């Protein structure tokens, strides 16, 4: 009997190890940071924003590496914008899709903030909202906290529970704002985030749900930043946001392969929403967001409207790749962040099958883990 108990303990240990170890599959950093992103190049009507997204050819002064070797993604704050025109900004979409089993780690020194500014780092599946959206970093104007969310088609509701550190504010994921969670850890956005050296965000897309973490710079543990080819999340704390799969929302049915997106909207449906702009920016006049910020020189208004990213990395469960390249060579029309309308895309998304953990891409355990697991199972049987 003691051998049986020991074998069960060993089996649990192996399974736990398999569930918490990830292998690096994609890195966006340094001189190659911008290589595998598509530039939107045009106006995105889904956000009703007052920005015009540049093409790669026109992005030289808006996407670049700074002297520290970090990627800068910013709003144009040098051009004089005439009344009724829009200001240049950036919308980047990865050329790769990521499947279930992915953990994204984003090391950020600065996130855009200021009047009219609506930045986000998020992911989206094709045929929005049918394949879901995950908002990892998002806020507007002078908010002092990050807001995380998931967006789905009708039928997904997240239940409140004790498995997250943040504050759940909306449970119906098909509403415009999605299922939202407010970060409660200090310095997660805005001037305080920048003054404290930024921080690290991580998001896990698992068969059991979607989880998001945040660490201020001085509290970042070794695991998410020191890992080069592997990542162990077993020691990570309670997530800031937990969108757990369950009877009210089977996330495997609502989320398909995701592309990662970085953008900066100006005004738009959230930053310029009734009461939202006035709440932190003061002016209650109609169209104040646009008139006070977007037009004319914009130098002071957008001095802080930039991302500074040391790296964005994607890890995959058990070393099996969940990354695959897009066959679409044009930027898709998409929703953004807390609001938007459904979009269309020419790229069909794989559908999940029974027992599938990668929405159409079979995920096999590496030989090393299979060998160890087989040994433990055999030991268990012999112990009976």
Per DSSP, the residues of 150-183 read EE-STT-BPPP-SS-SSEEEE-BTTSTT-EEEE-
Query: Domains plus CATH for the chain?
Result: 22-365 (2.60.120.200)
Q: At 4, is the secondary structure helix, strand, or coil?
A: helix
CA distance 167 to 134: 17
| pLDDT above 80 (res 196) | yes
> Beta partners for 376?
none
Q: What does the CA dihedral 362, 367, 373, 377 come to, rounded to 10 degrees?
A: 90
pLDDT band at 384 (very low <50, low <70, confident <90, very high): low
pTM for the whole thing?
A: 0.83
Span between the terminal Cα atoms of the chain, in Å? 7
pLDDT band at 30 (very low <50, low <70, confident <90, very high): very high
Q: pLDDT by residue (tens digit) across 118-170?
A: 999 999 999 999 999 999 999 999 999 999 999 999 999 998 776 999 999 99
- Percent pLDDT > 70 in the chain is 78
Q: With contact defined as beta carbons under 8 Å apart, do 270 and 278 qualify?
A: no
Q: pLDDT by residue (tens digit) across 363-377?
A: 333 333 433 444 444
DSSP annotation of 110 reads: E
- Percent pLDDT > 90 in the chain is 73
Q: At 123, is the secondary structure helix, strand, or coil?
A: strand
Average pLDDT over residues 303-321: 90
Q: With contact defined as beta carbons under 8 Å apart, do 248 and 112 qualify?
A: no
Instruction: Identify the CA nearest to 368 among candidates 320, 325, 330, 327.
Output: 320
Task: Please list, residue by residue across 184-199, b when 16 or more beta carbons sit within 10 angstroms of its beta carbon and e when fewer do.
Answer: ebebbbbeebbeeebb
């Amino acid at each position: 009997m003691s051998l049986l108990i020991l074998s069960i303990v060993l089996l649990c240990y192996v399974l736990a190890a398999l569930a918490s170890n990830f292998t690096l599959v994609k890195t966006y950093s340094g001189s190659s940071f911008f290589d595998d992103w598509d530039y939107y190049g045009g106006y995105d009507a889904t956000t009703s924003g007052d920005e015009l997204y540049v093409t790669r050819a026109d992005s030289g002064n808006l996407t670049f590496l700074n002297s520290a070797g970090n990627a800068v993604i910013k709003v144009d704050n040098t051009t004089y914008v005439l009344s009724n025109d829009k200001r240049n900004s950036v919308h980047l979409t990865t050329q790769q899709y990521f499947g279930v089993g992915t953990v994204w780690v984003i090391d950020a020194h600065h996130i855009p903030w200021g009047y009219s500014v609506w930045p986000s780092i998020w992911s989206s599946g094709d045929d929005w909202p049918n394949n879901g959206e995950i908002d990892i970093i998002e806020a507007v104007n002078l908010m002092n906290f990050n807001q995380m969310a998931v967006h789905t088609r009708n039928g997904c509701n997240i239940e409140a529970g004790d498995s997250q550190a943040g504050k759940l504010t909306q449970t119906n994921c098909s509403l415009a704002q999605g299922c939202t969670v407010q970060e409660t850890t200090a310095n997660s956005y805005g001037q305080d985030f920048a003054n404290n050296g930024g921080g690290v965000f991580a998001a896990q897309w698992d068969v059991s749900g979607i989880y998001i973490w945040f660490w201020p710079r001085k509290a970042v543990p070794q695991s998410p930043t020191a890992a080069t080819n592997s990542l162990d999340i077993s020691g990570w704390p309670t997530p800031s946001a937990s969108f757990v799969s369950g009877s009210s929302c089977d996330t495997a049915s609502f989320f398909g392969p995701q592309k990662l997106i970085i953008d900066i909207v100006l005004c738009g449906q959230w930053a310029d929403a009734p009461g939202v702009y006035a709440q932190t920016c003061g002016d209650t006049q109609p169209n104040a967001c646009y008139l006070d910020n977007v037009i004319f020189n914009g130098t002071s208004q957008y001095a802080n409207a930039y991302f500074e990213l040391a790296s964005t990395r994607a890890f995959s469960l058990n070393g099996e790749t969940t990354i695959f390249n897009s066959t679409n060579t044009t930027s898709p029309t998409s929703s953004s962040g807390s609001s938007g309308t459904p979009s269309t895309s020419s790229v069909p998304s794989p559908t999940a099958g029974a027992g599938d953990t990668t929405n159409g891409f079979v995920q096999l355990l590496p030989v090393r883990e299979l060998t160890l697991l087989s040994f433990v199972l055999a030991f268990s049987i012999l112990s009976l």
